[in-house]
Amino acid sequence: MSFIKKILTSLRDQYTVVNTRKRWTNEEKMYLRRFYFPELTKEEIHEIQQEWKGIAVSKRLFNAHRFYKKINGFDARYLAMPVYDPIIIRTLNPFQDACVFVNKGFFEVLFAGLKQPQLYIKRLDGHYFDSRSALITKDEAITTLCKKEQFIIKPSVNSHGGAGIKLVKYRRSRLEIESLIAEYKGDFIIQEILDQHPDTAKFNPESLNTIRVISLFLNGKVTILKSALRCGQNGAEVDNATSGGLMINIKEDGFLENFGIDSQFEKIFETHNGVKISGQRIVDFPKLKEIIMLNHPKLYPSLHLIAWDFAINSEGEPVFIEGNTKVPGIFWIQLCGGPIFGDRTQEVIEYVKKRIHD
């Protein structure tokens, strides 16, 4: 029986790898049809194969290196999405553990030690809860929201790219709030609209411009791998690159790179409202890094790669928005900041190889 179970598990895992890679390679082909990217030389392909030896050697999996080559020049250490997901990330972040941290409705309990936006209402499995996570009725929830001048509502899961996120900026009637809630079939959270710091607001005041920080906790060591400012453009209310925003690399000293990357794979040196990116700085960036260095092993001890999203409030304090655990996004942050694992690339490769071949 155990032998049959082992065979079935192996077949399931192989299906997951093939299906996931197909999804990512199809997305890459779409980009290749729409935009120009330089070809890889034979020498570059060989270098990639040597860098990732033992994990992936197929030339079909290295299209992403053409994207990165266009922006930053060639580097074999770039991690292609069909290699990252499912092989690398499923090894670094065991799936069953990563799923624990997906639902935003649990954040105020799981991450009570981190400053977060004020929670007004949340719905979990059809039940309504107030700001203290006390069970209330739907009517009580609506009454609470009727008293709020403004708020933001988000699906508790699957809000990638700003999907399902709505900002309410004026007081609504009871009927309007009932109608709004009815639009959401699953769980959601409703929070205050954060008053962000002028240093991040100036890039696009209409959106909450957040800081994405990716940290690695491996072999007893925490490293801040990459950091980037995500800001909306042209008055958009969300900051994601896939929704028309910019991704701007943040250097170790908290200053921004002199350009951002948009969804057209173009370098942008000035925002739509005339803010020059070069010379801009994230307020008290060392404090944010310190929070992440301290809390990665504390809050995510079994997950090795986390993509943290923070905002900076009007007082200059880092405010936790969410931690991405299942498949932390690396595509756009590599475009603006370089190979995701940097000097720890081979260490990660050896860690993954040891576990997939055991």
Confidence category of residue 12, pLDDT binned at 50, 70, 90: low
Give the pLDDT band (50/70/90) at residue 11: low
Asked whether residue 88 is assigned to any structural domain, the reply reads no
Give the max Cα distance, the chain: 67
Task: State whether 218 and 299 are in the same domain.
Answer: yes
Q: Is residue 84 part of a domain?
A: no
User: Two tokens at 90?
Assistant: 């499923």
Q: What span, in angstroms and rounded, lies between the C-alpha atoms of 250 and 285?
A: 9
Does residue 83 lie within any of the structural domains?
Answer: no
Same-domain pairing of 186 and 233 = no
Tens-digit pLDDT profile for residues 196-253: 999 999 999 999 999 999 999 999 999 999 999 999 998 888 877 777 799 999 999 9
**Sign, CA torsion 75/81/83/87:** positive
Same domain, 175 and 234: no
Q: Give the domain-ending residue among 157, 191, 225.
A: 191
The chain-wide mean pLDDT, for the chain, equals: 92
Specify the CATH number for the domain of residue 263. 3.30.470.20
Please compute the mean of the pLDDT values over residues 51-66 and round it to a whole number: 87
Query: Which comes out higher in pLDDT, residue 131 or 14?
Result: 131
Domain count, the chain: 3
pLDDT in tens, 304-341: 999 999 999 999 999 999 999 999 999 999 999 999 99
Distance CA 162, CA 238 (A): 6
| Whether the predicted model's global pTM rises above the 0.85 cut | yes
Domain region containing 335: 97-104+196-348
Taking the C-alpha atoms of residue 200 and residue 282, their distance in angstroms, rounded to an integer, is 7
Contact yes or no for 341/225 (Cβ under 8 A) = yes
pLDDT tens for each residue of 87-123: 999 999 999 999 999 999 999 999 999 999 999 999 9
CA atoms within 13 A on the CB side of 303: 27
**Within a domain: 354:** no
